[in-house]
Amino acid sequence: MKQPLSYVTYLLFLSFFILACDNKVEKENYSTIDNVSAKYIDGYAGDEKCTTCHKNEYNLWKGSHHDLAMQIASDSTVLGNFNNFETTIDGVKYTFNKSDNKFFVKTNEIDGSENKYQIAFTFGLTPLQQYLIDFDKGKKQVLRVTWDVINKKWYHQYPGDKISTHDWLHWTKSAQNWNTMCAECHSTNLKKNYFVEKDSFHTTYSSINVSCESCHGPAQKHVDWANSNSGKENNYILKGNNQLDQLNLCAPCHSRRAKLTKNLEPGLKFEDQYMLQTLSNEYYHADGQIDDEDYVYGSFLQSKMYTNGIKCSDCHNAHSLKLKLKGNQLCLQCHITENYDTPKHYFHKEDTEASQCINCHMTGKNYMGNDFRRDHSFRIPRPDQSVLYGTPNACIECHKDKTNTWAANTITRNYGKERKTHFSDNLLLSNKNNLTTSERSSLNKFINDLQYPSISRATAIANLNFYNNEQYEALLLALSDASALVRYNALLKFRLLPLQDRVAIASKHIKDSVKLVRIAAAQLLIGFDGNSLSIADKSDLQNANIELETMLYANADFSTGSMQLGDYYLQNNDIKTAIKHYKAALKKDSLLIPVYTNLTSAYSMLGDNSTALKIIDTWIKLEPNNGRAFYLRALLYFELKQNKKAVVDLKKAIVLNPNDTRSMYNLATYYFQDKKDLNLAENYIKSALKIMPSNQDYKYLLALIYRDQGKPELMQKIMLEVKVNPQR
């Protein structure tokens, strides 16, 4: 039977869904480029070389958002008011002025500090423009105050927030660091060159903006071919003619994703460079509609447009980035006018906003304060789902005085009762707690039903827990899915299985054709030495581990990346290195709460429980209403033989979280040991079983309690259940 103190060693947050980093390459391979139009590396030739043969495309691109993605601050590029203008926003006073053709901003922060900065670069064009300031260690920071190009005013993108200068979200800290958050997608041939030990950057680029070669790849060989008059077929430039090739060019920057490699290589397969964010409730509504910024790709993969082979360039001019046609004419390239561009379809007056396809099928919201972006999942409004789940719908976005029920009834009246089968029904179900047996069986089928988008099926896998044979059989089938994202998320669900099971599963995928999947297989085997594998399998594991480490070292400049490095070293039993990275994470973001849990575990594993206790105390000061913090501190108190304090913390944890079955289990264990109070032990474990009736550990403890209470019949009944339904 497990004792309460044994759980301390399991307090790890093992999520590798975010980002990470690289301190292995200390050599600075790239020199600073002072004159970006004169010096190019890695086969990049520069935009001017393109104009001779591609003048029309160049002219379309010139002046576009890509062309003006980032510029050196000057009279011709700065749009904001720097004419000795003063304004105070959210308690911060700003003074903007210009001197000797240089632009400056003075800030008076909420803590009273005052600083003056020179604007180095502009960032973006419209509807907003941001400004970059050079800091030490090669860092460029994005000034929080932003220029509203449309309304000609300064504003804060997240109004109402008074952010301390010590907060990770403050513009001088990591959350607003250009090198980390922005650079790769606003410049061409970006080399971030982050050095972990120094927490410094030596970031370079071949072109300051999103140039021709950002999408078409390094062009020097192409230029040489064009000048050779050889007559041979051109194989030296990326064209993006089909959907897959085009998405591999566009998606890296138009998606919410995690890096797998250090540097972006144009045209390389997406899943060999990035891990796409699933439709997590942190970024999307439960039905897959956009909530936080998703940069289009995650939405587009949900759509029938994607399924039917539609490309970005079918709607957008690839060079000017503008829509190819206005209004419904854009949609009528494919959709029959008589069926869709008629009041019989949209049930509103002609030539009104309500008659526009995009306002029903591409709803959107403002990001960054004033930047309206549309959802590219092209979905049919489902107010019936809104009634049940509270999800948004296009009808209520216009008819703000109406209810979801009114909208659902209107849809039924106009289109009938039946709704076409849609993945969102299953996606919503996968977010539900306490699924019935039939609901769970339905989801087991859904994750392998190829008629539905792979991103929705991968998300359902991520949302679900897997316990019994039926569930694991569905998961095993998903490991053969054509989608790398599905295979990746399916593999991660095997992390809690015994090592021998993980080895058997991972060894089949350690040499998958896609890097993302190989990394998932390597994650299953973190800490496994591989000596029992064949020579070939051992070599494959070593290669996959290198790819995993590259991913983990690809973004150490993120606080979450430092945390995940700590997790990785902790799992490999390199405790001191883990602590180093956990401390680095907290230095970047002192409010990254999971680090406190992991750092506590690390010190506990070293036997330094007093330091571990101090860390938990710091956490509790930051989050006094977090029940998990009290639960973890209770486990430490048990190790320190301070049982009374441990019991107090466990009871506090249950008050803060009435569904905290682990605290109930540990209290039951405490009162059961030495028969301290068998009645209390029984009450606590029964409370846990009401919440998790199938938990075998809880049942087993109750059986032991019944044994010591002299209730052999009750004990025997439970023991039979445990034997019939053994925990996986």
Q: Band of the pLDDT at 23, cuts 50, 70, 90?
A: very low
In the prediction, which pLDDT does 232 show? 78
> Among the three residues 177, 197, 228, which one is the final residue of a domain in this structure?
228
**Predicted confidence (pLDDT) at residue 32 exceeds the cutoff of 60:** no
- Contacts of residue 717, defined as CB under 8 A and 6 or more positions apart, other chains included, come to none
Q: Band of the pLDDT at 727, cuts 50, 70, 90?
A: very low
Q: Is 701 left (phi over 0), alpha (psi -120 to 50) or beta?
A: alpha
Do 139 and 217 lie in one domain? The reply is: yes
Instruction: Report how far residue 636's alpha carbon sits from residue 646's, in angstroms, rounded to the nearest whole number.
Output: 8
Mark 249-267 as b/e (b = at least 16 C-beta within 10 Å).
Answer: bbbbbbbbbbbbbbebebe
Do 69 and 9 lie in one domain? The reply is: no
Instruction: Report how far residue 288's alpha carbon sits from residue 463's, in angstroms, rounded to the nearest whole number.
Output: 13
In a domain, 319, yes or no: no
Q: Which two tokens stand for residue 702?
A: 């109750």
In a domain, 479, yes or no: no
Q: Band of the pLDDT at 20, cuts 50, 70, 90?
A: very low
Please give the residue range of the domain that contains residue 579: 4-14+555-724
Instruction: Report how many domains make up the chain.
Output: 2
Instruction: Decide: 686 and 702 in contact? Cβ < 8 Å.
Output: yes
In a domain, 179, yes or no: yes
Instruction: Report how far residue 503's alpha carbon sits from residue 92's, in angstroms, rounded to the nearest whole number.
Output: 55
Q: Could you tell me what percent of the chain has a pLDDT over 70?
A: 94
157-164 average pLDDT score:
92
Q: Band of the pLDDT at 25, cuts 50, 70, 90?
A: very low
Do 663 and 573 lie in one domain? The reply is: yes
* DSSP-derived pairing of the beta strands 145-148 and 102-108: unpaired
What digits encode the pLDDT tens for the residues 312-339?
A: 999 999 999 999 999 999 999 999 999 9
What digits encode the pLDDT tens for the residues 564-581?
A: 999 999 999 999 999 999
In a domain, 68, yes or no: yes
In a domain, 107, yes or no: yes
| Residue 613 per-residue DSSP state | H
539, with CB counted inside 10 A (0-12, 13-18, 19+), is middle
In a domain, 141, yes or no: yes
> Among the three residues 175, 209, 228, which one is the final residue of a domain in this structure?
228
Do 9 and 123 lie in one domain? The reply is: no
**Predicted confidence (pLDDT) at residue 725 exceeds the cutoff of 60:** no
**H helix or E strand, kind and range, residue 93:** strand 92-99
Count the neighbouring beta carbons within 10 Å of the beta carbon of residue 459.
30
What digits encode the pLDDT tens for the residues 161-187?
A: 999 998 999 999 999 999 999 999 999
Do 665 and 613 lie in one domain? The reply is: yes
Do 200 and 52 lie in one domain? The reply is: yes
Instruction: Decide: 122 and 131 in contact? Cβ < 8 Å.
Output: yes
Peptide bond into 127 cis (omega under 30): yes
**Predicted confidence (pLDDT) at residue 88 exceeds the cutoff of 70:** yes
**Residue type present at position 668:** A
Instruction: Decide: 595 and 579 in contact? Cβ < 8 Å.
Output: no
Mark 683-706 as b/e (b = at least 16 C-beta within 10 Å).
Answer: ebbebbbeebeebbbbbbbbbbbb
> Among the three residues 228, 253, 284, which one is the final residue of a domain in this structure?
228
Do 68 and 215 lie in one domain? The reply is: yes
Name residue 154's beta-bridge partners.
Answer: 147
Task: Identify which has the larger pLDDT, 591 or 129.
Answer: 129
Task: Identify which has the larger pLDDT, 30 or 67.
Answer: 67
The CATH number of residue 664's host domain is 1.25.40.10
In the prediction, which pLDDT does 201 show? 96
What digits encode the pLDDT tens for the residues 194-219?
A: 999 999 999 999 999 999 999 999 99
Q: Which two tokens stand for residue 661?
A: 């079955």
In the prediction, which pLDDT does 723 show? 64
Sequential DSSP letters for 242-254: SHHHHHHHHTTTS
> How many residues make up the chain in this entry?
728
Torsions phi, psi for 454 (to 5 deg)? -65, -35
- Contacts of residue 390, defined as CB under 8 A and 6 or more positions apart, other chains included, come to none
**Predicted confidence (pLDDT) at residue 9 exceeds the cutoff of 60:** no
Instruction: Report how far residue 515's alpha carbon sits from residue 234's, in angstroms, rounded to the nearest whole number.
Output: 28
524-539 average pLDDT score:
90
Instruction: Report how far residue 207's alpha carbon sits from residue 214's, in angstroms, rounded to the nearest whole number.
Output: 9
Name residue 133's beta-bridge partners.
Answer: 141
**Predicted confidence (pLDDT) at residue 399 exceeds the cutoff of 50:** yes
Q: CA dihedral in degrees (28, 194, 34, 207; nearest 10)?
A: 110
Do 128 and 8 lie in one domain? The reply is: no
Instruction: Decide: 221 and 43 in contact? Cβ < 8 Å.
Output: yes
- Contacts of residue 187, defined as CB under 8 A and 6 or more positions apart, other chains included, come to 69, 70, 205, 207, 208, 209, 210
Alpha-carbon Rg for the chain, nearest whole angstrom, is 29
33, with CB counted inside 10 A (0-12, 13-18, 19+), is middle
Tokens 């997406």, residue located: 270
Count the neighbouring beta carbons within 10 Å of the beta carbon of residue 116.
10
Do 95 and 212 lie in one domain? The reply is: yes
Do 10 and 126 lie in one domain? The reply is: no
**H helix or E strand, kind and range, residue 502:** helix 499-506
**Predicted confidence (pLDDT) at residue 2 exceeds the cutoff of 70:** no
Do 51 and 10 lie in one domain? The reply is: no
In a domain, 423, yes or no: no
In the prediction, which pLDDT does 30 show? 32
Do 10 and 150 lie in one domain? The reply is: no
In a domain, 73, yes or no: yes
**Predicted confidence (pLDDT) at residue 511 exceeds the cutoff of 80:** yes
Instruction: Report how far residue 345's alpha carbon sits from residue 94's, in angstroms, rounded to the nearest whole number.
Output: 52
The per-residue pLDDT of the chain, averaged, comes to 92
